[in-house]
Amino acid sequence: MKILGIDTSGKFLSIGIWDNSKVYEYNVELSRKHSSLLTVTIKRILAALGWQPAEIDYFACGAGPGSFTGTRIGMAAIKGLAWALKKPVVAVSSLDILAQNAAETGYKEGSPVAVLVDAKRNLVYAGLYKNKKGLLKKSAPYMLVGVNELRKKIRAGTVILGDALSVYGKELCAGIKRLNCLDKDYWYPQGRYIVLLASEKIKERKISNAFDCKPVYLYPKDCQIKKP
């Protein structure tokens, strides 16, 4: 089984490759250059692997929440490839992908994990997780919340990661005991986790197609693109 997965929900372009359980990744900071470099980067990676696009069995993408434009760029690219090649698509929440970084820190089993991504407008995209037998499981719906409301949901001993720490870190962490705030090396999705999570979804038959695959938008509809 071969999977190509990408996430462009933030300032990093993260690409993961699954090749019969072998995993490769490519992560590079692009800021706002996703649209100009995404396609050429995919071509170079496939050429280096000696793959033809038609050999890929599944396409996976980070579905957000995150940058509105960035998420749409990545999802449009994956949907275009999947539609042209008549292959299935696996959508993975970008918060779920990012949460897996906590596993690299050796945190204690049972410790809660909070993924916090800057959503601008003094708001945060948040995902809360529990560590059960070494696996991170979502413990609450994805949220778009203000800092004060979010503080009420973070428990003592929580592992926190995500770029919202650079903006709201002091406000979020003040007065909450035993927080483990990870440094910026853990704030962005990694390509390997895109395809690892996608492979689990494929086993569970949680797959879609190019037309039905949708991004995770948490902002209200009046903040999104409207049809003319």
The tens digit of pLDDT for each residue in 122-172 reads 999 999 998 776 678 899 999 999 999 999 999 888 999 999 999 998 888
* Average pLDDT score over the chain: 90
- Which pLDDT score, from 0 to 100, does residue 221 have? 66
Q: What is the average per-residue pLDDT within 58-84?
A: 95
- Which pLDDT score, from 0 to 100, does residue 178 have? 84
Q: What is the average per-residue pLDDT within 108-123?
A: 88
- Which pLDDT score, from 0 to 100, does residue 107 have? 66
pTM score above 0.85: yes
- Which pLDDT score, from 0 to 100, does residue 156 have? 87
- Classify residue 228: in a domain, yes or no: no
CA atoms of 78 and 5, how far apart (whole Å): 8
On whether both 108 and 50 belong to a single domain, the answer is: no
- Classify residue 69: in a domain, yes or no: yes
On whether both 81 and 160 belong to a single domain, the answer is: no
On whether both 38 and 61 belong to a single domain, the answer is: yes
Domain range enclosing 29: 2-93+189-223
On whether both 30 and 52 belong to a single domain, the answer is: yes
Cβ of 182: how many Cβ atoms within 10 Å?
18
Cβ of 123: how many Cβ atoms within 10 Å?
20
- Which pLDDT score, from 0 to 100, does residue 120 have? 92
Is the pLDDT reported for residue 115 higher than 90? yes
Is the pLDDT reported for residue 189 higher than 60? yes
The pLDDT tens digits of the residues spanning 198-228 come to: 999 999 999 999 999 999 999 886 555 555 5
- Classify residue 138: in a domain, yes or no: yes
On whether both 181 and 201 belong to a single domain, the answer is: no
Residues 6+ apart with CB under 8 A from 87: 56, 57, 58, 59, 81
Give the chain's domain count.
2
CA atoms of 116 and 20, how far apart (whole Å): 32
